[in-house]
């Protein structure tokens, strides 16, 4: 279901999206090569730095220009236009794109090419064959090269040739705008969503990978902040102004809830409470919630408890649904921990046992009845009505601290 005009994927898309709530409610609806960074009212000359394996056609798509023009502007051989990685091409375009950043990524245990590609919003085939042709097998500790989409700030401060309009990132363009979807070049959105999202069979709203966590959750901020997109099938956002987060958080939060919805019998609303403010920083009364990686989720309600109830008593909570949710969050592999007061953990653990969780799984993920805080679900005072979920730093968020 596409909720935006047919011109969405063109250059005009940005304006469309920037002026209305606009999102794609099902995975896979974003066409490859949807190239949008920022549309200028008038074309100007920019320089494009060629990355390894990049093709002329792709560069054309990126800037909405023809291959023929690129050949002409850069005096390339029309029969065999050779592109050298690192060389620069002159491009006359209205579509300004931040330069891509080359990062060296250290392979972690459990990583696969597909997983790394998805998390960085790049194509697996590029990652593998173009940028790291010599790394056949991935071993933890190996370093591989990834070219990620850069951000507008760097582009605008990076030496005169690039200029990025304020609407480049809708999130910064105005508070009334819900930046549910930003189109990314190189079909990053599609890759970012990946087959994983499609497989869940639930509507997932694409999230651009631009929003980044900076610093610590109790002292940091968010660069290019994005809001958790509306997705009423999955959840209800209590306060949109406090529903900003890092792209990594927004994506995995949606995925976890989608998986949970696909499996649970719980058909009622799930209320997302505080996340972060736009841009992050202090959000009272929380100590953390500053860098876009914390999400408070109200515990699901037991049958017979009216919608909207704040479950102050443990009996008002549907613990089976709560466990399924916690389980889905853990399954993302991107959750550092989940705060829940000890007295409530008793109930959660019982539900986990009912659901057939193994002793080893319980020992790993639920603190109760242990005392030390080594587990995913761990005690913190005051977390009786909601769980507080802390997400990991995105692998490409180099200034994110954990």
Task: Note the residues at the interface with Zn ion (CB under 5 A).
Answer: 296, 388
Pick between residue 288 and residue 332 the one whose CB is nearest to Zn ion.
Answer: 288
In the complex, minimum distance from the CB of residue 154 to Zn ion, in angstroms, rounded to a whole number: 31
In whole angstroms, how close is the CB of 355 to Zn ion at the nearest point? 25
Least distance to Zn ion from the beta carbon of 247, Å?
Answer: 20
- Kindly provide the residue ranges of all beta strands, DSSP E only, lying in 50-176, ordered along the sequence: 88-96, 101-106, 143-148
The answer for 235, left when phi > 0, alpha when psi is -120 to 50, beta otherwise, is: beta
Comparison of 69 and 376: residue with beta carbon closer to Zn ion: 376
Q: Which residue is nearest to Zn ion (CB)?
A: 388
Q: CB of residue 202 vs Zn ion: minimum separation in angstroms?
A: 25
* Beta carbon nearer to Zn ion, 58 or 296: 296
Q: What is the DSSP string of 33-66?
A: T---SEEEEEEEEEEEEPPTT--HHHHHHHHT--
Nearest 5°: phi and psi at 217? -60, -25
CB-hemisphere CA count at 13 Å for 70?
22
Provide, rounded to whole angstroms, the least separation between the CB of residue 378 and Zn ion: 13
* Whole-number Å distance between alpha carbons of 312 and 297: 14
Pick between residue 180 and residue 276 the one whose CB is nearest to Zn ion.
276
Q: Which is nearer to Zn ion, 275 or 321 (CB)?
A: 275
For Zn ion, the closer of residues 111 and 296 by Cβ is 296
User: What 8-state DSSP symbol labels residue 242?
Assistant: G
| Structural Rg of the chain based on CA atoms | 22
Is residue 199 within 8 Å of residue 247, measured between CB atoms? no
- Cα–Cα dist 269/235, whole Å: 6
Closest CB 294 distance from Zn ion, rounded Å: 5
């Amino acid at each position: 279901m596409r909720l935006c005009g047919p011109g969405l994927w063109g250059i005009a898309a940005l304006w469309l999206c920037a002026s209305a709530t606009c999102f794609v409610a099902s995975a896979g609806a974003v066409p490859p090569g949807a190239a949008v960074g920022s549309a200028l009212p008038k074309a100007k000359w920019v320089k494009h730095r060629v990355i390894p394996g990049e093709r002329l056609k792709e560069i054309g798509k990126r800037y909405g220009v023809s291959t023929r023009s690129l050949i002409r502007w850069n005096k390339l051989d029309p029969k065999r236009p050779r592109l050298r990685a690192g060389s620069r091409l002159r491009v006359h375009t209205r579509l300004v794109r931040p330069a891509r950043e080359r990062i060296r990524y250290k392979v972690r245990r459990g990583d696969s090419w597909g997983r790394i590609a998805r998390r960085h919003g790049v194509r697996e085939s590029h990652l593998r064959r173009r940028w790291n042709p010599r790394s056949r097998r991935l071993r933890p500790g190996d370093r591989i090269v990834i070219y990620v989409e850069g951000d507008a700030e760097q582009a605008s401060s990076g030496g005169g040739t690039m200029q990025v309009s304020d609407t480049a990132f809708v999130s910064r363009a105005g508070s009334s705008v819900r930046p549910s979807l930003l189109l990314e070049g190189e079909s990053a959105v599609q890759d970012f969503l990946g087959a994983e999202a499609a497989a869940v069979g639930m509507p997932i709203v694409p999230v651009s990978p631009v929003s980044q966590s900076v610093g610590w959750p109790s002292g940091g901020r968010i660069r290019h902040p994005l809001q958790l997109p509306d997705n009423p099938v999955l959840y209800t956002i209590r306060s949109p102004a406090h529903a900003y987060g890092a792209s990594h958080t927004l994506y995995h939060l949606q995925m976890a809830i989608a998986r949970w919805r696909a499996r649970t019998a719980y058909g009622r609303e799930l209320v997302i409470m505080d996340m972060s403010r736009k841009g992050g920083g202090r959000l009272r009364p929380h100590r953390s919630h500053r860098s876009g990686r914390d999400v408070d989720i109200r515990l699901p309600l037991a049958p017979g408890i009216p919608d909207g109830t704040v479950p102050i008593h443990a009996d008002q909570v549907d613990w089976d649904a709560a466990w399924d949710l916690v389980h889905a969050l853990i399954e993302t592999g991107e959750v550092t921990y989940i705060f829940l007061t000890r007295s409530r953990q008793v109930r959660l653990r019982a539900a986990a046992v009912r659901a057939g969780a193994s002793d080893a799984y319980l020992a790993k993920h639920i603190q109760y009845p242990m005392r030390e805080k080594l587990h995913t679900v761990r005690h913190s005072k005051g977390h009786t009505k909601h769980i507080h979920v802390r997400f990991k730093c995105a692998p490409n968020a180099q200034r994110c601290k954990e």
